[in-house]
Structure 1
Amino acid sequence: MVNAVPQSRAARSLAAALIDDPFYRTVTLACGDDEAARLEMLAVYFELALTEGRQAGRVDLADIDGNGAAIWNTDTPAAARQAAYAQREAALRTLLGRQGFAHFTAIVENMEQALSEHDLKDAWYLSIAGVAPAAQGRGLGASVLAPGLAAVDQAGAVCFLETYNERSLPFYGRLGFTVAGVYKEAVTGCDYWLMVRPSVRPSKLPD
């Protein structure tokens, strides 16, 4: 059963960090007003996302205690990415329930439609990032993203993210991301921001 998925400290940290995000509140509607149940469901959700990231992307932890994580979609071959996503999607269908999974699918489709306006098919995607509330204020947000951004730069790739949190825009701006679009997502009824970071070609090594 999906609910038997072991929950790592990193998954629980992501759940605590992102429990109020409109996307995650909408897909966990089966929990109603039970915030403890929502936290538990999200911990499983993020454990599945961490597994997918390790299989076909990149996962970086905020610290050795798992107080946060960053999950990237990278330049892994498409077949591996599709297989890993299909495995997670099958588990989410059970975890989220009929309506929650329907919302998940619709939101993803809406956001992919917005992305079609931009040439990002070969870009790396920062799909999930968060630090446990109790561990915030220590610089872990920037440090957990640093290895992935270094890998992006080494690959000479563009990368992007989507955020429903307007307050996070200055933080990502300091890391080189700029706003490429603002969209109203129909299912959540909320605005979100698409941010893109241009490629930084690695310095040529001396001969």
Structure 2
Amino acid sequence: MPDTSRQTHAATNSLAQALISDPFYRSVTVACGDDAAARLAMLTTYFELALVEGFEAGRVDLADSAGNGAAIWTTNTPLPLRQAAYAQRETALRELLGPQGFANFAAIVENMEHALAQHDLQHAWYLSIAGIAPEAQGRGLGASVLAPGLAAVDQAGAVCFLETYNERSLPFYGRLGFEVAGRHTEAITGADYWLMLRQPVRAAMPD
């Protein structure tokens, strides 16, 4: 894992700002009540843990040198390494989120994994977290932070997928080659989310 730096620390704060209103993250930070500052602080730590997991057993791309966002992927890293990194994060989340927040986290993850079961995605890459700081949006950073990961997916010849609670993001991901594969209502959040899949893009053979 790279040394902790100002850039990665800034990226965790950017992710927290970008995703603070997301139904999933509101549900897992329920211990904060209506305290927006406490929720932002909790989410910043949440994303610090996610970055550690990504650096150890997945892929992390930072949006720019100022840390205005990041993309975190689950990749084709060997399964035992992924499981160990996830278990380590899960232990830390249990303490961070509190009993109800962690119970919500576990239930939402289980619900979403159940919905995935019909799609045979065991070997797919997963774009688990992506976000750009609100003040830095509109500059093309969203597409640029995803480009290296998508190139790696294509090189591996793998399918990739994501889940989003933000219907307005569907056209953005569509331009990157993702297609809606399902719409589900998640019971804990009470909100709809969309599953999107992307087939690998193969370079055209030279004439």
Q: Place the TM-score, normalised by the shorter chain, in its bin.
A: over 0.9
Structure 2: tracts of 5 or more residues without a match: 1-5
Matches of 1:115 and 1:204 in 2, distance apart?
34
- Between the two proteins, the alignment pairs up a number of residues equal to 201
Answering whether residue 10 of structure 2 is matched by residue 9 of structure 1, we say yes
How far apart are residue 55 of structure 1 and its match? 0.3
Task: After superposition, give the CA deviation of every residue in 1:3-34 in whole Å (9 maximum; x if it has no partner).
Answer: xxx98100000000000000000000000000
Aligned to 2:56: 55
Q: 2: CA distance between counterparts of 1:197 and 1:162?
A: 12
Kept in 2, the 8 Å contact 1:155–1:201? The answer is no
CA distance, structure 2, for counterparts of residue 127 and residue 202 of structure 1? 25
AA of the residue aligned to 1:82: Q
Partner of 1:43: 44
5+ long unaligned stretches in structure 1: 1-5
Identify the residue that residue 128 of structure 1 maps to in structure 2.
129
Residues 29-178 of structure 1 mapped to structure 2, 5 A cutoff: 29-178=30-179
- What is the identity, as a one-letter code, of the residue corresponding to 1:201? R
Residue 119 of structure 1 and its aligned partner are, at CA, apart by: 1.3
What percent of counterpart residues are identical?
75
SS of the residue corresponding to residue 64 of structure 1 reads coil
Q: Does the aligned pair in 2 maintain the 1:49–1:88 contact within 8 Å?
A: yes
> Quick one: distance in 2 between partners of 1:48 and 1:203?
39
Deviation at 1:203, TM superposition (A): 5.3
Structure 2 CA distance, aligned partners of 1:148 and 1:42? 23
Measured after TM superposition, the shift of residue 199 of structure 1 is: 1.9
Partners of 1:165 and 1:192 within 8 A in 2? yes
Q: Is the 8 A contact 1:61 1:68 kept in 2?
A: yes
**Hey, what's the Cα distance between the residues in 1 that align with 2:52 and 2:66?**
18
- Alignment deviations for residues 187-207 of structure 1 (CA, whole Å, 9 cap, x no partner): 00000000000122355699x
Amino acid at match of 2:116: L
Assess if the C-alpha contact under 8 Å between 1:154 and 1:202 holds in 2.
Answer: no
The 2-side partners of 1:194 and 1:178 are apart by 8
Question: What code does the residue aligned with 2:146 have?
Answer: L
SS in 2 for 1:128: strand
Distance in 2, matches of 1:62 and 1:73, equals 18
The letter for the 1-side match of 2:187 is A
Please, what is the CA RMSD of the aligned residues? Answer: 1.4
With structure 2 as the length reference, what TM-score do the two structures score?
A: 0.94
Q: Is 1:21–2:22 an aligned residue pair? A: yes
